[in-house]
């Protein structure tokens, strides 16, 4: 293929995707227009905040996110690399659950590799259903281990609210649900127990074939669920992710799918046989009704006796359990065998179709769809009309889902006042000192730890000389400011003017009574900046590349300047960042044991470096302080994963000085990014001294 053809295909694909995204944006505007202005603002704010979660989990800043119709659910489209999330859920479900929904779809983008599954199986409705439930379990366990603070609560609340035990009992009691549906719900329930490290015991009363499938498949399910990269290792390369996905697919295809296929076959045969039995019963009922017209009163008595007998028989069947089930199955099989071959084939085909539709409904009700791209690696489709096809598929899925859930969904009141919005913000309140923190934050209350306090104290001891020296230099600066610009000749003030006392005595005639209030005091007649006129925000990179000595030395420097600033009562905040933001020490919290433990608990995370967002968010907080001089110091060892340059300019336009510190060799680009206020190639062991000097210069400008 020539270079020209390659570029042309890429251009066509980009054009098709842009057309698709434009259509989805228009669709999103239509969806949002149904809500009141206040509701719409809540949805948009949450959607914007959730985009940061997607960037964090997927490690893909190109992925698109759009609102979906209320009741239409959420899903990731692997072919065109976009996520849709239910607008109704955004408005009414708890914040932490919405965060989990989005993180779950983003995790599919990160870990799901459809290329490890044979194409024919991907097109099989039964395999589609099975893949959804087991792959979701694998993905969710990785999320739970990777982001325990940020996602565990939302994940567990969501699965606990699904009422799986109740649904399971209702399905079993009906006696009509396909075995695969019972197995699907049982696998969900067992995964939830497995995730909580509880006993994975099958539900009592499951039909024999379902119980046999669960007992045989459970060891393989556990093995598959655990086949995910160790948190942090996924960042080493796509090959690590693919290796675990391939292992999971092998377990699914070779060990679990054959068992599930057997269950599907039993379902198909059972459905066809049941239809045959119902056909015979219908014929007998019609004959019985024809004869009842001549029975009169006696016929009614006989019918009542038959009904009572049937009721008694049903009770006995319930008590006998499997014996009753076997009896019904035997009668259905006999009825089926009495049919001609052509009718048998027709019933089997009808049963297969009904079970296929039921499986699609179950799978879509839980999760959405499994895409057909060769790999989870992004948007595919070389055809120019792929955008239209994808949009049409999405429309059909949305309409079908909306029809299925219309009766079950509560109507959102469009006329409620903003303060009465039906939003469950319990999780938001539980985030500790969130104070309006978005989804991308880990709040101050969740940052403290005993190990963090111990680490802080150890690093503080190492930084003691720097702390002492910085305090002395700042004391000298503030003392000089008190002495400068002072006028004497006052009868009260801050200091005695010794020269004026001598002059007063020399000019007083002998024998004159001493002045009880001599004008020998000085007062500052033009106040210069004191400690309360400054506010500092320390923004520290804790991404994967900062692991080890770099982060330890950076923390030693942070602790040195925080201790010195706190000594003078100067406002200071410490924010850690990777693809999340960590509120280690807010402006309005003292440097107490909790704050020290929070600072000491900052550690590297094997995540990326969303520096621009960290600068913007920290800038918003710093802008609100009343101090006259506001300074932000950003410490990092690498290139940002977003447009940090634009963020720096935005914050500087607010009158905030933004200084950048490049940690280690090869960080000259950091200095260039921050311009005249950037310092690069700072050896880790020199960080504490460098930070102390930057603080001194920021205060001693006059």
Q: Which two tokens stand for residue 357?
A: 């539709």
Q: What is the mean pLDDT of residues 265-279?
A: 65
Q: Which of 574, 500, 568, 494 is nearest to 534 (CA)?
A: 568
Of residues 678 and 176, which shows the higher confidence score?
A: 678
pLDDT score at 79: 85
* Percent of the chain clearing pLDDT 90 (strictly above): 33
pLDDT digits (tens, 9 = 90+) for 158-175: 777 654 445 555 655 666
3-state secondary structure of 68: strand
pLDDT higher than threshold 80 for residue 353: no
pLDDT score at 547: 87
pLDDT higher than threshold 80 for residue 401: no
pLDDT digits (tens, 9 = 90+) for 532-583: 889 999 999 998 889 889 999 999 999 999 999 999 999 999 999 988 899 9
From the CB of residue 212, how many other CB atoms can be counted at a distance below 10 Å? 16
Confidence of residue 413 (pLDDT cuts 50, 70, 90): very low
Of residues 408 and 480, which shows the higher confidence score?
A: 480
Of residues 147 and 527, which shows the higher confidence score?
A: 147
pLDDT digits (tens, 9 = 90+) for 621-652: 999 999 999 999 999 997 787 788 999 999 99
pLDDT score at 152: 66
Confidence of residue 359 (pLDDT cuts 50, 70, 90): low
For residue 455, what is the enclosing H or E element? helix 450-483
Q: What is the mean pLDDT of residues 11-30?
A: 86
pLDDT score at 425: 36
pLDDT higher than threshold 90 for residue 440: no
pLDDT score at 231: 80
What is the rounded distance in angstroms from the CA atom of residue 371 to the CA atom of residue 378?
A: 11
60: Cβ contacts below 8 Å, ≥ 6 apart: 54, 81, 106, 109, 110, 378
What is the rounded distance in angstroms from the CA atom of residue 312 to the CA atom of residue 347?
A: 31
pLDDT digits (tens, 9 = 90+) for 97-136: 888 888 888 899 999 998 898 888 888 878 888 998 899 9
Is the sign of the CA dihedral 27, 401, 438, 378 positive or negative?
negative
For residue 6, what is the enclosing H or E element? helix 3-32
From the CB of residue 92, how many other CB atoms can be counted at a distance below 10 Å? 19
Q: What is the mean pLDDT of residues 383-405?
A: 49
* Percent of the chain clearing pLDDT 70 (strictly above): 64
pLDDT digits (tens, 9 = 90+) for 182-207: 888 889 889 989 988 899 999 888 88
Can you list the domains of the chain with their CATH numbers?
A: 20-112+386-430 (3.30.2010), 450-477+529-699 (3.40.50.410), 485-524 (no CATH)
Check residue 234 and report its DSSP letter.
Answer: G
pLDDT score at 675: 92
pLDDT higher than threshold 50 for residue 317: no
What is the rounded distance in angstroms from the CA atom of residue 642 to the CA atom of residue 103?
A: 19
Contact 441, 112 (CB under 8 A): no
What is the rounded distance in angstroms from the CA atom of residue 52 to the CA atom of residue 147?
A: 14
């Amino acid at each position: 293929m020539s270079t020209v053809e390659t570029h042309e295909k890429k251009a066509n694909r980009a054009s098709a995707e842009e057309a698709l995204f434009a259509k989805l944006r228009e669709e999103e505007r239509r969806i949002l227009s149904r809500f009141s202005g206040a509701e719409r603002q809540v949805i948009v704010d949450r959607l914007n905040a959730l985009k940061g979660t997607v960037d964090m989990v997927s490690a893909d800043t190109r992925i698109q996110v759009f609102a979906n119709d209320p009741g239409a659910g959420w899903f990731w489209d692997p072919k065109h690399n976009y996520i849709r999330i239910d607008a109704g859920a955004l408005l009414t479900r708890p914040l932490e659950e919405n965060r989990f929904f989005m993180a779950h779809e983003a995790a599919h983008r990160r870990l799901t590799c459809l290329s490890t599954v044979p194409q024919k199986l991907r097109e099989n409705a039964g395999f589609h259903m099975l893949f959804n439930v087991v792959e979701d379990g694998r993905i969710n366990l990785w999320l739970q281990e990777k982001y325990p603070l940020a996602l565990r609560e939302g994940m567990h609340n969501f699965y606990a609210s699904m009422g799986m035990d109740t649904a399971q009992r209702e399905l079993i009691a009906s006696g009509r649900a396909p075995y695969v549906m019972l197995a699907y719900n049982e696998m969900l329930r067992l995964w939830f127990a497995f995730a909580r490290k509880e006993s994975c015991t099958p539900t009592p009363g499951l039909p024999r074939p379902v119980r046999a499938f669960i007992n045989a498949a459970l060891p393989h399910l556990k093995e598959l669920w655990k086949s995910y990269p160790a948190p942090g290792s996924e960042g080493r390369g796509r090959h690590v992710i693919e290796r675990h996905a391939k292992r999971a697919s092998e377990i699914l295809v070779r060990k679990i799918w054959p068992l599930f296929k057997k269950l599907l076959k039993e379902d198909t045969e059972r459905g066809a046989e049941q239809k045959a039995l119902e056909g015979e019963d219908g014929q007998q009922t019609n004959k019985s009704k024809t004869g009842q017209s001549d029975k009169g009163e006696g016929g009614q008595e006989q019918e009542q006796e038959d009904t009572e007998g049937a009721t008694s028989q049903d009770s006995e069947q319930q008590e006998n359990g499997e014996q009753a089930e076997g009896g019904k199955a035997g009668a259905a099989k006999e009825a089926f065998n009495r049919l001609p071959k052509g009718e048998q084939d027709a019933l089997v085909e009808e049963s297969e179709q009904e079970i296929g539709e039921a499986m699609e409904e179950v799978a879509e009700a839980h999760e959405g769809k499994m895409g057909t791209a060769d790999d989870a690696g992004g948007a595919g489709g070389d055809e120019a009309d792929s955008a239209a096809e994808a949009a049409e598929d999405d429309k059909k899925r949305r309409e079908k889902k909306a029809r299925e859930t219309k009766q079950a969904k509560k109507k959102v009141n469009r006329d409620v006042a903003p303060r009465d919005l039906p939003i469950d913000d319990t999780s938001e309140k539980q985030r500790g000192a969130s104070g309006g923190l978005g989804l991308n934050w880990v709040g101050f209350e969740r940052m403290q730890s005993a190990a963090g306090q111990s680490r802080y104290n150890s690093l503080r001891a190492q930084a003691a000389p720097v702390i002492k020296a910085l305090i002395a230099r700042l004391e000298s600066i503030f003392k000089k400011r008190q002495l400068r610009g002072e006028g004497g000749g006052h009868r009260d003030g801050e200091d005695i003017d010794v020269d004026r006392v001598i002059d007063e005595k020399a000019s007083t005639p002998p024998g004159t009574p001493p002045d009880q209030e001599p004008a020998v005091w000085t007062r500052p007649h033009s106040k210069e900046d004191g400690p309360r006129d400054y506010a500092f925000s320390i923004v520290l990179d804790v991404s994967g590349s900062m692991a080890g000595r770099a982060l330890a030395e950076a923390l030693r420097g942070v602790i040195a300047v925080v201790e010195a600033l706190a000594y003078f009562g100067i406002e200071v905040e410490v924010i850690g960042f990777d693809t999340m933001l960590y509120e280690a020490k807010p402006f309005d919290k003292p440097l107490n044991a909790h704050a020290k433990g929070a600072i000491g608990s900052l550690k590297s995370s094997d995540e990326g470096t969303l520096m621009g967002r960290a600068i913007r968010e920290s800038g918003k907080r710093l802008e609100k302080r009343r101090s006259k001089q506001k300074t932000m110091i950003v410490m990092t060892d690498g290139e940002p994963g977003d447009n940090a340059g634009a963020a720096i300019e935005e914050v500087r336009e607010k009158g905030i000085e933004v200084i950048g510190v490049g940690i280690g060799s090869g960080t000259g680009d950091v200095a260039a990014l921050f311009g005249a206020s950037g310092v690069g190639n700072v050896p880790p062991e020199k960080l504490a001294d460098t930070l102390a000097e930057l603080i001194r210069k920021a205060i001693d400008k006059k």
